[in-house]
Structure 1
């Protein structure tokens, strides 16, 4: 028995359940691309796959629509693989365990993968339905969107034939996205010196259970950054006692606000009571915003090596100075974030600590300004730095036939006005536009919440509404 067989639209949720059985972490999309190619061949569609596992399927126009604009429906096949601390799920082999919870579809202690699996499911449902009215359609399934927009960035010119592209990676019903931020990562590599330890007491401090969330669409929601909160604890302990850092780590994805972090510290005297007092102080500070957060303290075996005092101080100070969160808001849309950074990942190496920050901005010059600020901080502490994972912004266009048709179709379907917006999260439209500058773009999608976290959920009724809207929009684009 299928878990989702009673959900509507039946074929959309049929395909969502099917692809939820297929592991599809970023950079591991071959299996899902094989599935898509087999689907295309079984349904008599023209099929194409490139060397990064992007897949394009082409469906001919329905009768009477042969001269209509060529449409591209687009979504990405990879998902953010996050799970709760007590989950035993293996994203490399286990299917997502789907749960219908009232009006929502969720997963059992993991991300759901509706970002962007629901786009894949909708596209397959459209592709198989020969009763629909539409012009020529290309179904573009891209890869590694959640890491670096790698699939979209690797698209070669001349492969796509479409005039208009409908991206299905937005997460709010009734909202049409017409522009998005670009971004880049900066990896700050802080050198540290390790010395033989003559300390007697060592403790692990572990933070878990933070809300987290998407570092673009939820960066303005005051969700606490576990790397920053852990550093507050370390800074307070460093003021009150003589501590030495052994290791520190936190976060796992550059596009997710970090939910967990931990550090091992040592001291010559037993400072357990000091740690307990500091932990209590931090819990009380954040209990209102992050009530589910846990801060765990446990004693560990004697440590043979620690970082020296200078390295310990340098790490605490540099992490305090590197910003995280909203940097600026847009002048044209004061409620929309213009630029931000997410202090996403901290990792201890043999002779360094790597601090990875994901930066976003809808304005290139503001992104450069933010980059310079972090570079100045890195250089202050004699840290090196590397830039990576750059992707372009999608600039808003004052004229768009597709946008006008999309707004009209929503009004006809719902009787309501569609909201047009520019968002702070990154979308693949900007990357695709680099090779296809004359293509007309929009982005739409159903209601989702808490994407990139184990609390991710998809609104079932909203999914049906958006699917019906896609069918209507395709029919109207004649």
Structure 2
């Protein structure tokens, strides 16, 4: 039990504290799912899991709302596991440690999991409540959303009974989302040929201190990718050859595909005077700090002596790796012509690692339109062919096509406006909400997405705004109480 249970609405925060206490990173949600199933059955609710592990709970309508349209509240069970390097945290066994910092709730050294833990907590709090008015209610909690929407992709057909769905995965107070981007994974492979390391010196190059963030919601902000920035440094060295000969024994960065990578590392081997090399690193760090003074004020590029590697990349491999990563498109590719101030298409390399036989990178491609995804995929195919590499695509999921006026949107907009004192913004998000997949399986669903303000999701700086949670809860409960009768 942490201090956040003192916050209002108390039932929601109690559930969020409970969620934080049970490890639930992507692919490790089983313990949390079973806890919720057992709790729901103990309350006498219908609770069942489908073949993909998704969880569905049903609660009857409260007195007087039996003839209203049924509603599903939807959230995902998993969280993004990101920790600061100095934080010793095992996301598969250690609880998240939330704490209050002024008007915000944060976590000690890790992601908080407010994405989508607050939405999940709100749905469970509605189930747990004894005095909230609501129609026949379903709560759908999906598996492994953050690394491929596995649960939504495998959702059982003819399972949901609701006519309306409220997705709880939005992260901005005062906004209602009615559409989102689709996406696809692109996995890069650069085959590695090794040779004996005949270089005199080995140094580890570290790029740290970047802000990171959500690779969809934050892709337009100018935040630097650690992988791309490190590749730029290596390309600068490579383009100075033959004045500086070097190779690599390892390159890596990032940890999850849907976060802008905050850190990247390379083990670099060379001949010559180390003092000249380290001075060159400092000079490049100074250049980056000048360029990125506003976007990345805490950037650090350092070089430290490393244990001598026994083997390094052969020259052709090193050239292919550096050229591919340096030339790789990353960030916003095109803004939407249809929706103002919304990114249409983007990509971000989230993970890079060196294995025994290859350097491998994982990219998440996002677009509001299918042709945008296809265009970016074509760029990647052309680039990899030029650099002796390959790319494989997988896990494509559809976007959620926006519709300007629907009954649940009209109701939500009206109640939100009364609470805020101004008209809420109707938005399309450049991120992968599950709504597109769910609508594909259940096309008749009338869907909106709402949620409180969450900042820096997918990074250890994640925080959720306490007053916004109170507003979100009031909105959610008033919408449920205002659901109209069935037609």
Tell me how far 1:456 sits from its aligned partner: 0.5
Give 1:339-418 correspondences, 5 Å limit: 339-418=345-424
> Is the contact made by 2:143 and 2:151 (CA closer than 8 Å) also made in structure 1?
yes
Contact 2:320 2:388 in 1 (8 A): no
TM-score after normalising by structure 2: 0.96
Per the alignment, residue 245 of structure 1 pairs with 248
- Identify which range, 32-41 or 161-170, moves more after superposition: 32-41
Cα distance in 1 between the residues matched to 2:417 and 2:304:
58
Aligned partners of 1:213 and 1:453 also within 8 Å = yes
| CA shift for structure 1 position 440 | 0.7
State the distance in 2 between where 1:405 and 1:274 align.
63
Report the alpha carbon displacement of residue 130 of structure 1 after superposing the two structures with TM. 2.3
* Superposed displacement of residue 400, structure 1: 1.3
Q: 2 CA distance for matches of 1:351 and 1:31?
A: 35
On the 8 A contact 2:174/2:420 being kept in 1, the answer is no
Confirm or deny: 8 A CA contact 1:406 1:473 kept in the other structure.
yes
Match of 2:307 among 301, 304, 307: 301
**Which residue matches 1:9?**
9
1:41–1:47: 8 Å Cα contact kept in structure 2?
yes
TM-score where L is the length of structure 1:
0.98
Note the 1:250-265 alignment, pairs <5 A.
250-265=253-268
SS of aligned partner of 1:146: coil
Aligned equivalent of 2:104? 104
Deviation at 1:279, TM superposition (A): 3.5
Query: In structure 2, how many angstroms separate the alpha carbons of the residues matched to 1:421 and 1:334?
Result: 9
Answer whether contact 1:237 1:275 (CA < 8 A) is retained.
Answer: no
2:230, 2:419 → 1: CA distance? Answer: 49
Corresponding residue SS for 1:422:
strand
The offset of 1:39, in angstroms, is 1.7
* Equivalent pair of 1:236/1:278 in contact (CA under 8 Å): no
Q: Whole-Å Cα distance in 2 between the matches of residues 432 and 41 of structure 1?
A: 25
Contact 1:241/1:271 (8 A) holds in 2: no
Query: Which range moves more in the overlay, 306-315 or 439-448?
Result: 306-315
2:24–2:78: 8 Å Cα contact kept in structure 1? yes
Kindly indicate whether the alpha-carbon contact (under 8 Å) linking 2:215 and 2:348 is maintained by their aligned counterparts in 1.
Answer: yes
Partner of 1:157: 157
Q: 1: distance between equivalents of 2:56 and 2:375?
A: 38
2:455 alignment counterpart: 449
Alpha-carbon separation, structure 2, partners of 1:361 and 1:393: 8
Q: Which residue of 2 aligns with 1:228?
A: 228
Q: Secondary structure at the match of 1:471?
A: helix
Equivalent residue, structure 2, for 1:336? 342
Partner deviation per Cα, 1:7-41 (whole Å, 9 max, x = no partner): 00011101111110100011111101111111211
**Mapping 1:14-413, distance limit 5 Å:** 14-238=14-238, 239=240, 240-287=243-290, 288=293, 289-413=295-419
Shift of 1:293: 1.9
CA contact (8 A) 1:29 1:53 kept: no
Query: In structure 1, what is the Cα distance between the partners aligned to 2:5 and 2:455?
Result: 23
SS across alignment from 1:100: strand
Secondary structure, aligned partner of 2:21: coil
Count of paired positions: 478
Contact 2:71 2:164 in 1 (8 A): yes
- Contact conserved, 1:170 with 1:446, CA < 8 A, in 2? yes
Q: Is the 8 A contact 1:323 1:343 kept in 2?
A: no
What SS does the aligned partner of 2:237 have? helix
CA RMSD, aligned part only?
1.3
SS class of match (1:147) = coil
- 1:379 CA displacement: 1.0
Counterpart of 1:183 in 2: which secondary structure? strand
Shift of residue 296, structure 1, vs aligned partner = 2.5
Q: Is the 8 A contact 2:281 2:302 kept in 1?
A: no
CA shift, 1:118, in A, is 0.5
Q: Structure 2 unaligned runs (5+)?
A: none
Question: In the aligned structure 1, how far is the partner of 2:263 from the partner of 2:377?
Answer: 25
Whole-angstrom CA distance in 1 between matches of 2:163 and 2:338: 29
Partner SS for 2:3: coil
In the TM superposition, residue 194 of structure 1 has moved relative to its aligned partner by: 0.6
1:265 Cα deviation after fit: 1.1
